Structure 1
């Protein structure tokens, strides 16, 4: 554990900073309704949110084969964009944790697999557009998580060595990317997981149940 806050912190977005599942649910239910299907329940979709658009469309329309499902992704993204920020919110404790980092002089940014144009629209809705030091989406670079490239570029843009950064995420891809980038990692246990996921097997440096724990410098892992 660390005696001080990291030099910089990078976060995943959906399932880590933002409880966006209600927005996603509104999108898939709009698509299901247009096809005469009953709405899904939040509990049915929520575990799949961190796996991305394709996983959510697969859960909403399991009868489709992979090829047909792929053609529905643009419709999902367009529908989701209309619901963006209308139903979801930051997880409890996130605002307090971010404020603590800022008070400690620790810059923070976001590295997400969500398309950058969607993530960028969320920042002003959350009041983060002036606070977030860097934003990299899943389409910002030639590779996305679990590839370490987005994390490495984010650190470079923040002017911080990767080994001085910590990455926080709720999915195995986040922890894999952090390890490959040479960053310490925090597993956000408050996020989205499938029942078969085992976050203890991801080899994150620390596992945290509540973002409020990260208001304490001692809760953060020591640099890699």
Structure 2
């Protein structure tokens, strides 16, 4: 029996912590950055929960004794090192490739809306084999605003020509669910992603909560 139409017309995803387990790349990046300052590598579990919150959150976790100004001075060196570590250590989460293939097979399109700088996100696409498959990519600096503002999600929907209500946004951070709600898009909480111990994903009030990407092979799991 054909499942065509059961998936959303456009599935939009966060990148780090949702499609891509990029934490190992960031751990390697921070090890190199700390080495420049005469510091040993930091345990991966200290970094992983902060990945979805961006460079500054990871730098704060890796350099807890630095003040805000000193940490801010590390942002550009962090990004410069990270460019050299792109996709060397990380990989798509288990089930992601199968999920994307299932969407494509049933005629759905998919794209990425991330707070990662657009140039870095685009640089990842050929490394992952996604450059011809991703219908739209919106980065954190593509527009004047970024998530949790809904404009990046709305921009992605307009670019593909799909109404927001016919999209679904999938993300592992509260800002993803806030942005989806404000954009009028159903949402899925990616519980397989990165979270702090204090996070309560139930309180985010996403439409669906998925423990693993493989669950989304079932069109009935999509809102």
Please say whether Structure 1 and Structure 2 have the same fold, judged by a TM-score greater than 0.5.
yes
Residue 15 (structure 1) aligned with residue 17 (structure 2):
yes
TM-score under structure 1 length normalisation: 0.96
Q: Corresponding residue for 2:78?
A: 76
State the aligned residue count: 219
Deviations 1:70-114 (A, max 9, x none): 121001000111111110000000000000000110100000000
4+ residue runs of structure 1 moved beyond 4 angstroms? none
Q: In structure 1, how many angstroms separate the alpha carbons of the residues matched to 2:180 and 2:149? A: 9
Asked if 1:143 is matched to 2:145, the reply is yes
Please give the alpha-carbon distance, in whole angstroms, between the structure 2 residues aligned to 1:7 and 1:34.
47
- State the match for 1:109 in structure 2: 111
**CA offset at residue 181 of structure 1?**
0.2
3-state DSSP of counterpart to 2:194: coil
Consecutive unaligned residues of structure 2, counting only runs of 5 or more, are none
Per the TM alignment, residue 42 of structure 1 is displaced from its structure 2 partner at its CA by 1.1
- Whole-angstrom CA distance in 2 between matches of 1:68 and 1:105: 49
Give the secondary structure class of the aligned counterpart of 2:168.
strand
Equivalent-residue separation in structure 1 for 2:188 and 2:123 (angstroms): 26
2:112 aligned counterpart, secondary structure: strand
d(CA) in 1 for partners of 2:67, 2:35: 20
Name which structure has the greater RCO, CA cutoff 8 Å, separation 6+. 1
Taking only aligned residues, the RMSD between alpha carbons, in angstroms, comes to: 0.8
Q: Which of 6, 9, 20 is residue 8 of structure 2 equivalent to?
A: 6
SS of aligned partner of 1:40: coil
Distance, in Å, in 2 between the alignment partners of 1:207 and 1:142 is: 30
- Partners of 2:9 and 2:123 in 1: CA distance: 27
State the 1:121 CA deviation.
0.6
Mapped to 2, the partners of 1:29 and 1:68 lie a distance apart of 17
Q: 1:122-178 deviations in whole A, cap 9, x for unaligned?
A: 000100000000001000000000000000000000100011100000000000000
C-alpha distance in 2, partners of 1:77/1:5? 36
Q: Aligned equivalents of 1:61 and 1:41: distance in 2?
A: 12
